[in-house]
Structures are given as structure tokens and as C-alpha cells.
Amino acid sequence: MRVAIIGMGTAGVSILRQLESHSYFKELDIDVYDDPQNMGQGVPFQNDSSQLLINLPSKDMSLNFNDAAEFFKWYENQNQFKFDNATYLPRFVFGHYMKSYLEKFDQEYDNIHLITEKATEMYLEQGFEKDAKIQYFVCTNHQQEACRQYDYVFLTVGTMAYHDPYHLKGLKGYIKSPYPTYETLNDVKDTDNIAIIGTGLSSLDVIRYVVKHHPNLPITATSRHGEFPSVRGNMIDITLKHITKENFDKILRSHFGVVPLESMIRLFEKECETYDIPLEALIHRKVGDPIKDLKYDLAHPEILGVFQSLLETIKENMNWIWNSLSLQDQEAFMKKYMPILKANSNPMPPRTARLLIEEIEIGHVVVKKGLEDVRYENEEYVFEYPDQGEPDYYNVVINATGPKTQLKDLDDDDAFIVDIANRQIVQAHPMGGIQIVPETNQVISPRHGTLPHLIAIGQITNGINQARNGVNMIVRQSVQAVESLYAFHQENR
């Protein structure tokens, strides 16, 4: 059976690892696609500054579903990278851990073929006879002769391009994406004034790098709310007692096949009561002063860790939780509760918080909220705030707003996804990403219906897999997806 994996970041390498672990593996003929830079590492874990840390403890990340500490064990057994404090390792180290498996498999198996080019198009062919099988064709370099035929395809294309909320892409001094950070300042002068749009995790990476490598400080980090992510507390193991499939099934049967949002929130509040979480106090703890907010989190690692652990456990089960809600309730959740979930999950390492406090206190970093508009005039960027009489001016703007989620917002930076949407192989989900079957990650095509042998994993599925794009959750999805492939293979041997 011919198999293609399009994209060899976290999801792609996870799929390959799961395929390799099965007894039928050598009966597959596998092509993996990505450019040379990202092959085996992906964008989030590409080679970059050692100051960019993973926001999970090193012992809690792994591509091994059965061994959460495998990455840390790999780190301890290798000699290429060593750091004094390995509690939170640089992101690129995890990329080399992933790449080590790809290189190992490539050397050991002659049924794996590395195609160091981006896939540019994909099309489907199906005969007119009844029950005719669909064949998938993946192409590179926009050339028909560069297309290869497959029985099974995994779409693991990684994150979509960053938002451009103020339509600045292409302008001089505008850096559309902060990665890799060690190339971010290549064309920046020492005298340039720098602003960062966004105060999420990406902006923290930029701040860590720029304050160390740019002499003209301060730099400004700004957004509408001016709030940084929370600080990671002391995490614990959580067992859900109220948000369970059994409770959801009861509600589904009595509410015409959906779980009302208010019912879900009541169950969540009961979970908080079970673990003595002061919910109202925690979700309203921020006072709008980044130093005070960061210091509060650092001073309360126990209760914050319990709260964050609960949210992380809910995210791990978000597939059946999220898809039990009606579309109307999903929209209501996104407006009212998703900001709370985002603010308290994916927290930063404590040492990043301490660095931020230090840089803000000595005046190297300025944090501003209420950003209303950014425009380009006379080779300068003009930042406007409603409560500020005069605007601010900058020579360089680094975009740290995070990746797009909606297909309608994509452009040439996501040409492959745009292409397969244009061919009606995939279709947009109203909450973001593409339509898939929640339980199997099978793509739902507007032209062909459910495509059982086209599997999408990662941020491209964010509408269905809301808040489930962390490494550990992608590994879970990969295990399930590969089990489905081998079930199909066994039936057709």
C-alpha cells in the first residue's frame, strides 16, 4: 500500500513512528514530504535561539504514547546539546529529538522515501464504476510529471501562516513571522525602534531574543489587552469526576443529541469544587499590570498548578466535549470562555516570567494595551491608542499575533491548503480549519463526501480539535489514525 505523509513536523513524525511500530509496516511504501529546513523538525521546533524554551517541562513531552519522559531520556543520553538547567529545554532540542527518529528510520528502512520538497498540489481520481476506489495524487513544483499516486494520505501540514491584522505584509520593516528569531534582526539597524504586535507566547520568544541582541532599548510589546500568558504552576494528575462521557451521554439523550453549554459549564464548576479551585478568584485575578500579574502567578504555584492541570485534562478530552455542543453554543463558548481557557493554558515557564519582570522593571521592555490601529506612513509605523493623544512611531514591527485559523483568511503563504480547498478536497469548518470526522480525523470533502483514507492532524483541524494541538494531543490522534490505517490494510490484504 502506498502512503504519503505531507509535512514532517510533530504530527508527521508521530504518524511515521506509529506506522513503524506495527508488524505490517514493511508492507507499506511511504513517501514523506517537506522542505529540507523543516524535514523532521517542523516550524515550531526548527533550529533557533537556545533562549526559546518549550513551555512544558522536559519530562512531560514525548512522541511515545506509552512513555511521557522519552524525550528527556533521549536528551540525557545524547552529547550534542547540554544545558545547566534542563527542566525547560530549548525548543530546537525537541526538534532534534524528532529528527533523530526520522533519520534512524530513513537509514534502517528502504520503504521510507524522503522527498525534500513541499507538496504544491493534490488531486483525486475515482472511476465511474460502483464502489470505485479513490486514488490520491500528490504533486511538487507545480509539475504534472512530479505527481505520485497513493492509497492513503496523511495531511500533517503544521500551523498556518500568521495573522496580518493590520495588512502590513510586504512593507519595509515589517517582519511577518518571528521565527526563526536568530534571523529576525538580520535587516534591523542598531538604531531602529522595535515594536512587537501581540503579547502571547510568540511575543515572549521575541522579547527573550531581542533584549539580548538589540542595543536600542526599550522595545514595546503591545496588543488590545496587553496581557501575557499565565505562569506554569505545580502540575498534578487530574481525574475528571463530572465532565465524563457517561454524564455527557445522559445529557445528550435528554437534550436532542447535544449538550447545552450551560450544562457543560455546571459540570466544570463541579470539577473546580472537587479540587478546591477558587474559580472566580483565579479567572479575575489579573489587574492589568504585567509585573503584578506575573508576580501573583509566581507566588501561587500550587493552586494555579491545580487549575492548569484541570484545564489541560479537559483539553485532552476536548474532542468529545467540544463536538457535543451545538454550533451556536460553540460560538458562544469561543466568545465567553475561550479567552479564559487560552489565558490559563499553555503557560510560560517560571524563569521566563522572572526574566520578563526584570526586563520590564529596568525599562528594557514596555508593555502597552489598547492597541487600536497600525498604519504605515513616511517609512514609519504609526501605532494608535484611543486613550493616548499622540501616536507612537516605530521603524520595525515584529508580528507575533499567532497563526490564522480560518481558511478564508489564507493567502499564498498557505498555497497548498488554498489549492486543496479550491479543488473541493477539503472545506472550511465554521469554527476554523477544515471539516473532519471528530472520532477518526477523516477529511470531509464537499465534492467526495467523507474520505476514509485522507487523514488530517494538527492545527488545520482546529475547528473540530479545538485547543487540542499540543504535542501530546497530536500523538494521541496519531495513534488512533494509524490504527485505522492498519485495520483497512488488514481487510484488503
The SS3 call for residue 33 is strand
pLDDT score of 127: 66
User: What pLDDT does 66 receive?
Assistant: 86
Q: What is the tens place of the pLDDT at every residue in 446-473?
A: 999 999 999 999 999 998 888 777 888 8
- How far apart, in whole angstroms, are the C-alpha atoms of residue 240 and residue 324? 17
Q: Do 75 and 93 form a contact (C-beta atoms < 8 A)? A: yes
CA–CA dist 220, 383 (Å, integer)? 11
User: Which residue type, as a one-letter code, is found at position 249?
Assistant: D
Query: Which residue type is seen at 270?
Result: K
Distance CA 325, CA 259 (A): 5
Task: Identify the segments of the chain with pLDDT beneath 70.
Answer: 127-131, 489, 491-493
For the stretch 358-394, pLDDT in tens is 999 999 999 999 999 999 999 999 999 998 889 999 9
Q: What is the pLDDT of residue 128?
A: 62
Q: What is the DSSP letter of 391?
A: P
Residue 170's contacts (CB-CB under 8 Å, 6 or more residues apart) are none
Give me the domains of the chain, ranges plus CATH numbers: 2-161+404-491 (3.50.50.60), 174-229+349-399 (3.50.50.60), 245-344 (no CATH)
Residue 254: Cβ-neighbour burial (10 angstroms; 0-12, 13-18, 19+) = exposed
H or E element at residue 331: helix 327-336
Q: Are strands 29-33 and 2-6 parallel, antiparallel or unpaired?
A: parallel
pLDDT for position 380? 95
Q: How far apart are CA 473 and CA 406, in angstroms?
A: 21
